[in-house]
Amino acid sequence: MAMGLDGARRSDEDELCAIHLRNLLQGRLGSPSGTRDVILAGPQIPAFHDPAKPHLHPSDLDIALDIDRYDFAVLISREDGRLIAQKEHV
């Protein structure tokens, strides 16, 4: 599954989250606050306050930036042409 902007272009937030996860997986401390601060300074944040983009709600941003909030990943699969999201405990 493609991430990033429109599933076609890399995005800063995806790259930063990947680096954060890599650090954790390799036994290094991550920096949730540092990751959050850099993402909030990025070019995608204003879209969450744009009334022309109601699918990008500001409260979604708050949840997404609550790094390490959940103890599971979301596994996405395709069934009968539909995307299915399920909890995947790691």
Is 55 part of any domain?
yes
pLDDT given at position 4: 59
pLDDT given at position 2: 46
Nearest to 43 by CA among 85, 4, 1, 89: 4
Query: Considering the entire predicted model, what is its pTM?
Result: 0.66
User: How many structural domains is the chain composed of?
Assistant: 1
Residue range 74-90: mean pLDDT, rounded? 89
Task: For tokens 């959940």, name the residue.
Answer: 70
pLDDT given at position 77: 92
- Residues 12-64 pLDDT 10s: 888 888 898 899 889 998 888 988 999 899 888 898 899 999 888 888 888 88
Identify the DSSP state of 90. -
What is the domain range of residue 79? 12-89
Task: Return the bridge partners of 17, or none.
Answer: none
| Res. 7: pLDDT tops 80 | no
